[in-house]
Structure 1
Amino acid sequence: MATIQATLRRKKNNAGLYPISIRITKNRKSTYMYTGQYVDEKFWDTIKNKVKKNHPNANRLNNLISAKLAEINKSLLDIESDIKPITRIEEIRKTIKNKDKNHSFYSFAEAYFEELEKNKKYSRINCERPLLNRIKGYPRAKTLTFQEITPLFLRGFISHLRSSKASVGERSIVNTLIFIRTLHNRASQQGLVSKDSYPFGNHDGKIKIRIPKSIKIGLTSEEIKTLEELDLSDNPKQHHTRNVFLFSFYLAGMRVSDVVQMKWENVQGERIYYTMNKNQKNISLKIHDKLRKILEEYLPIKSSQSDYIFPELREANDNAKDILRVSKTANKRLNRYLAQIADKAEITKKITMHVSRHSFGNISGDRIPLQVLQKLYNHSDIKTTIDYQQNFINKDLDDALDSVIGL
């Protein structure tokens, strides 16, 4: 079996830079595949065989190297699995060079996930890995290169997802297209595919990604009050679930991942300080009297400041991957009990943990200035707040209908 390794060849160009290449060795003979990228010798890590972090484009160059290694390794496996495998190093290089004209989308995707893994972006992996599996499920994409991802291919793929057999929702389809677009852009930045082959855009028959507007329905203040006053003393699990839901609501619709990861050390006097998991932004919110009562219920089982307030994550291993796994399981369980609570409260709306966020938006309506809501939601751009809050501001439409129908 041939071996491969990234290396810096000692043949500098006119600018004094050295080419990054992939060395292929078999039977003690070597050949080289060039990446088309050059760096100063001082930026090359001879131990790790990669570009050093202090290079301004280190991440991109190392991603390119990873993708090239994965692509060449796949070609080598194909060569070795042939009935009559090629043994001469010159023929191996020639074969790989011909194969390398079309870069594998799947190999590039795996290199992308490896990068996310190294950066501990487990939540993103968890969201995007199913998208890659969805693409692999398309009969015309058993093997897939970037060159094969044309507007025609994507239209067929979209039709496949919309078919009764696949039964994929519009938002899920859009998410999959965005994933393909993300990888295509990265491959283009790394020089693996031509920008001319870019299948997305607003012209020339290209694919335009339109993000569908979802309907956001929150509870009213009367429905929140009904939940608060509902007698759940006969069911501890439902009582606990209501506490978690209201805890989220009282903190401007805090996301469930942040709620279950809340620790006693986040409680400082009359405020809660925490960092949002989604965007790593810091926020501080007042502890309302209603919220204080919920906290007091869990004080008896507190043993230290580093304890989780709620029990969902107490059995999780102390690493980000396991915390994510247990958080997702906890969210499903809480949503199941919320459905039971909704039945008891005779609330016909579907209630999930995320509905606490919609409920806060619905009740605040246009009563709270957008700049204040932006801080509460911790949105980077006020346009995001405006788009979100428009789901819950209906007074002008209601007044318009009343002015006509009321006659």
Structure 2
Amino acid sequence: MNKIYFRLVYNRKKKLNKSGKALIQVEAYRNRKKVYISTGIYVNPKQWDNHHSRIIQHPHSEELNRMLEEFILQLQWEELKSWKRGVYINLSAFKTFNHQNDTEKMTFLLFGRNWVEHSLRKDTTKKNLLTTLDLLNHFRPSIEFEDITYTFLLDFEDFMRQRMYETNTIAKHMRQLRTFVNEAIKRGYIQPDEYPFRKYQIKTTQSKHSFLLPEEIRKLEKLELSSCPKSLMHSLKAFLFCCYTGIRYSDFVLLNESNIVTIKGEKWLIFKTVKTDTSNPQLSSSASFL
């Protein structure tokens, strides 16, 4: 039997949707015949590297590229299974690949990444969810829906403890895993009576927050670092700036000169917070640190 060749194709119809994005498809080619299979992933033209057939300049490019690789691997696996059975597989059979019974081809990790990509959650939330998926991938690279049991949860918790994760960090990942499980139940991949978190209790501890006294901050202000690398001075200024303004580090790293606005002769720091997406104007006596 002649081999089927698979490759990624972007915007085959040369048309963008209302969001300015186009579909990524897989082209299956054999004996001068082709069919195209939808991956369900859309990106805008600037986010596609046609030369290397990869997603670029996308906040989740690494995860999406992994999804595309796994998608092609699944197609190749279908071809390999037909070879082993001695059955000739028609290219047209791949056209319905995405419309077959998803429980037969969809893994838990692939489902998770696909759900995160198409969810309406904030980018920071998506990033946290993808971090949990990456951790699960390190724990067990191949996870089927039926693998998610009470014992699986205990083993995953033990895996994180062996990596010296703190109790609250483990709790964060378990809550995010629970989110994926709940979504899988809603979509019929896991039966409600097989809910693994029914008996599992997510453990937390009271966090201890340390803080600096005003006199300690003043000592940092006067700290002499002229003989040290400039990067240390930049780090110190960044830390003091966050202390003075009370902003999160995730907001600080996105600031630039356009966030400093002069109003009636006074400098104001105006920005939208990453976590809550709300505007946060404040009088910035520390604007000189930027």
**TM-score by shorter chain over 0.5:** yes
| Pairs within 5 Å for 1:6-405 | 76-82=75-81, 83-84=84-85, 86-87=87-88, 100=103, 103-115=106-118, 121=123, 123-124=124-125, 126-138=127-139, 141-163=140-162, 166-201=163-198, 206-235=199-228, 236-252=230-246, 254-268=247-261, 269=263, 270=266, 271-288=268-285, 291=286, 295=288, 309=290
What percent identity do the matched residue pairs reach? 23
1:238 maps to amino acid: L
| Aligned 8 A contact 1:2 1:76 in 2 | no
TM-fit CA distance, 1:76: 4.4
1:283–1:150: structure 2 CA closer, same or farther, 3 Å change rule? same
Cα distance in 2 for residues equivalent to 1:78 and 1:242: 53
Cα distance in 2 for residues equivalent to 1:224 and 1:72: 53
1:198–1:102: structure 2 CA closer, same or farther, 3 Å change rule? farther
| Structure label with greater radius of gyration | 1
1:107–1:87: structure 2 CA closer, same or farther, 3 Å change rule? farther
2:137 maps to amino acid: K
1:186–1:86: structure 2 CA closer, same or farther, 3 Å change rule? farther
| Aligned 8 A contact 1:2 1:26 in 2 | yes
| Aligned 8 A contact 1:71 1:103 in 2 | no
1:188 maps to amino acid: I
Corresponding pairs, count: 224
Between the two structures, name the one with larger relative contact order (CA 8 Å, sep ≥ 6).
Answer: 1
1:77–1:278: structure 2 CA closer, same or farther, 3 Å change rule? same
Q: Deviations over 1:110-159 (max 9, x none)?
A: 3134436x9893x4554444422322233xx3422222201122112222
Unaligned runs of 5+ in 1: 4-24, 31-46, 51-68, 299-308, 310-407
SS in 1 for 2:197: coil
TM-fit CA distance, 1:70: 10
1:211–1:241: structure 2 CA closer, same or farther, 3 Å change rule? same
Cα distance in 2 for residues equivalent to 1:241 and 1:157: 36
TM-fit CA distance, 1:192: 2.8
- Cα RMSD, aligned residues only: 4.1
TM-score (structure 1 length as normaliser): 0.45
1:234–1:137: structure 2 CA closer, same or farther, 3 Å change rule? closer
SS in 1 for 2:280: strand
Q: Deviations over 1:272-297 (max 9, x none)?
A: 21101222111111223xx25xx1xx
SS in 1 for 2:270: strand
SS in 2 for 1:261: coil
Cα distance in 2 for residues equivalent to 1:237 and 1:152: 47
Give the structure 2 partner of residue 362 of structure 1: none
| Aligned 8 A contact 2:251 2:273 in 1 | yes
Larger fraction in helix: 1
1:84–1:283: structure 2 CA closer, same or farther, 3 Å change rule? same
Cα distance in 1 for residues equivalent to 2:238 and 2:174: 35
Cα distance in 2 for residues equivalent to 1:180 and 1:213: 21
TM-fit CA distance, 1:2: 11
1:287–1:75: structure 2 CA closer, same or farther, 3 Å change rule? closer
2:208 maps to amino acid: I
Cα distance in 1 for residues equivalent to 2:159 and 2:253: 38
1:230 maps to amino acid: L
1:287–1:265: structure 2 CA closer, same or farther, 3 Å change rule? same
Give the structure 2 partner of residue 303 of structure 1: none
Cα distance in 2 for residues equivalent to 1:193 and 1:156: 19
TM-score (structure 2 length as normaliser): 0.61
| Aligned 8 A contact 1:75 1:99 in 2 | no
Unaligned runs of 5+ in 2: 7-27, 42-67
1:267–1:191: structure 2 CA closer, same or farther, 3 Å change rule? same
Cα distance in 2 for residues equivalent to 1:48 and 1:177: 29
TM-fit CA distance, 1:260: 3.0
